[in-house]
Structure 1
Amino acid sequence: MRLRIVGAVALLVSAGVHLYLWFDGVRHQSVGPMFLVNVVAGVVIAVLLVRWEHWVPAFLTLGFGVATLGAFTIASTVGLLGVHTVWAGGSVWTAAIAEVVCIVVGAALLVQGRAALPGMAHPHSRHAA
Structure 2
Amino acid sequence: MMGWVLRIVVAVALLGSAGVHYFLFTQGYPGIVTPLFLLNAIGGLVLAIAVLAWRHWLPALGALGFGVLTLGSYLLAATVGFLGQHDQFNSQPEYWSVITEVVCIIGGIALLALHSRARVSAGSR
How far apart, in 1, do the equivalents of 2:14 and 2:120 lie? 30
How far apart, in 2, do the equivalents of 1:118 and 1:3 lie? 19
Say which of 97, 105, 113 aligns to 1:111: 113
Scaled by the length of structure 1, what TM-score is found? Answer: 0.88
How far apart, in 2, do the equivalents of 1:12 and 1:118 lie? 31
- Residue of structure 2 in register with 1:17 after alignment: 20
Tell me, yes or no, if the aligned pair for 2:24 and 2:34 is still in contact at 8 Å: no
How far apart, in 2, do the equivalents of 1:93 and 1:103 lie? 16
Tell me, yes or no, if the aligned pair for 1:30 and 1:83 is still in contact at 8 Å: no
- Give the 3-state SS of the residue equivalent to 1:117 in structure 2: helix
- Residue of structure 1 in register with 2:94 after alignment: 92
- Counterpart amino acid of residue 21 in structure 1: L
1:3 aligns with 2:6: yes
- Residue of structure 2 in register with 1:70 after alignment: 72
1:58 aligns with 2:71: no
In percent, how many aligned pairs have the same letter? Answer: 45
Scaled by the length of structure 2, what TM-score is found? Answer: 0.91
What's the offset of the Cα at 1:34?
Answer: 1.0
* Unmatched segments (≥5 aa) in structure 2: none
- Give the 3-state SS of the residue equivalent to 2:81 in structure 1: coil
Higher relative helix content: 2
How far apart, in 1, do the equivalents of 2:50 and 2:106 lie? 17
What's the offset of the Cα at 1:32?
Answer: 1.2
1:78–1:54 distance in 2 versus 1, CA, 3 Å: same
Tell me, yes or no, if the aligned pair for 1:114 and 1:120 is still in contact at 8 Å: no
What's the offset of the Cα at 1:30?
Answer: 2.6
Say which of 75, 79, 82 aligns to 1:80: 82
What is the total number of aligned residue pairs between the two structures?
A: 121
* Unmatched segments (≥5 aa) in structure 1: none
Say which of 93, 100, 103 aligns to 1:101: 103
What's the offset of the Cα at 1:25?
Answer: 2.2
Provide the alpha-carbon RMSD of the alignment: 1.7
